[in-house]
Amino acid sequence: MEQCSIAGRARFKNWTANGRTRPVHCPQLCLRRLGGLRPDGRGNWNKNQAISFAAYRAAVDLFPGDKGVVFDALMASLGYDINDNSTDTTTATGIGNVTCDAILAIRHNDGSNQLGNLTASGAPYADYTGYSPVNPATTVPLGTSYDYSSLNPNHWQPLTYFNGAMTVTPSFVGAQWYKVTPFAMRSADELRLFSACLGPALYPSETYERQAQALIAISAGLTDRQKMIAEYWANGPHTELPPGHWDLFAQFVSSRDHHTVDDDAKMFFALTAAIHDAGIAAWVAKRVFDSVRPVRNTFPVPRTDD
């Protein structure tokens, strides 16, 4: 989410800096002409170079472990010098570097804790809100003999399982994400009143039981096509993950519709900004409700004659 958004904004800000109309919602530092390009600076070559440098700087900042093998190699294949740290905003490279620096200055302090400077551990993206699960961790599979008497069935429970290499108990990933600064809203707090009006049914209500039984019935009746759709979106490590799939779709649209650089700058900016805010909205709901996952939700539901 965050990664898609930063890269998308870097591309868009460079497009605007290359002489296009300035949108009113973008940071002033990113949107001014940055000194202006030379007369030959409006062609696709300069646009591509500025966008490439901005995207490269953003990618290395977000994924430093991939710098040499992935990002440096890509820039070399494009004929760009990664050691060109120019901040001369009359050049394409300078615009790319300056623009990315401006975006990172904002996003390094957006509440995601990318730099780890909000926690004593210094770990990137570590939770600084003090979240603690209501229920203790349990192993997978749960089994029908599992004792639920000490659990609150309305709250999330961490799972302990063997991942092929070791036994792990993942924590609540991104527990602080409801505090991240959105793009289209002043803050995520604007979503809280809306979220409070919705949410899952609570145990032991009849609605809770009906939704659990419905989930079992839906799962049992999935077609092969529906199962493959679920597998497609159920990404694990080393995949695009669900937010990344939307960028893949956008790449397809770009190729299909023969997009120009200008078209792509606008499309990826709008898409990734929406992905960014959608992720924040989802995590607001996660924190507001702290609800269970279906795998555990179904076991404590009493059997019925239906």
State pLDDT tens for residues 213-267. 998 999 999 999 999 999 888 877 778 888 899 999 999 999 999 999 999 999 9
Name the token pair of 181.
Answer: 């600064």
Look at residue 9 in the predicted model and tell me its pLDDT: 53
Name the band, by pLDDT with cuts 50, 70 and 90, for residue 71.
very high
Name the band, by pLDDT with cuts 50, 70 and 90, for residue 303.
very low
Look at residue 32 in the predicted model and tell me its pLDDT: 41
Cα 51 from Cα 163, distance rounded (Å): 39
**What angle is formed at CA 219 by the lines to CA 216 and CA 225, rounded to 5 degrees?**
165
Look at residue 11 in the predicted model and tell me its pLDDT: 52
Amino acid symbol at 261: V
Look at residue 33 in the predicted model and tell me its pLDDT: 42
Look at residue 6 in the predicted model and tell me its pLDDT: 55
Look at residue 8 in the predicted model and tell me its pLDDT: 52
Look at residue 251 in the predicted model and tell me its pLDDT: 97
Task: Give Cβ neighbours of residue 63 (< 8 Å, ≥ 6 apart).
Answer: 3, 70, 71
Say whether pLDDT at 306 is over 50.
no
Please give the share of the chain, as a percent, with pLDDT higher than 90: 60
Report the SS3 class of residue 108. Answer: coil
Map out the domains of the chain as residue ranges.
1-107, 132-171+182-306
Average pLDDT on 149-158 reads 88
Say whether pLDDT at 86 is over 60.
yes
Average pLDDT on 162-183 reads 93
Q: Structure pTM? A: 0.81
Phi and psi (nearest 5°) for 133? Answer: -65, 145
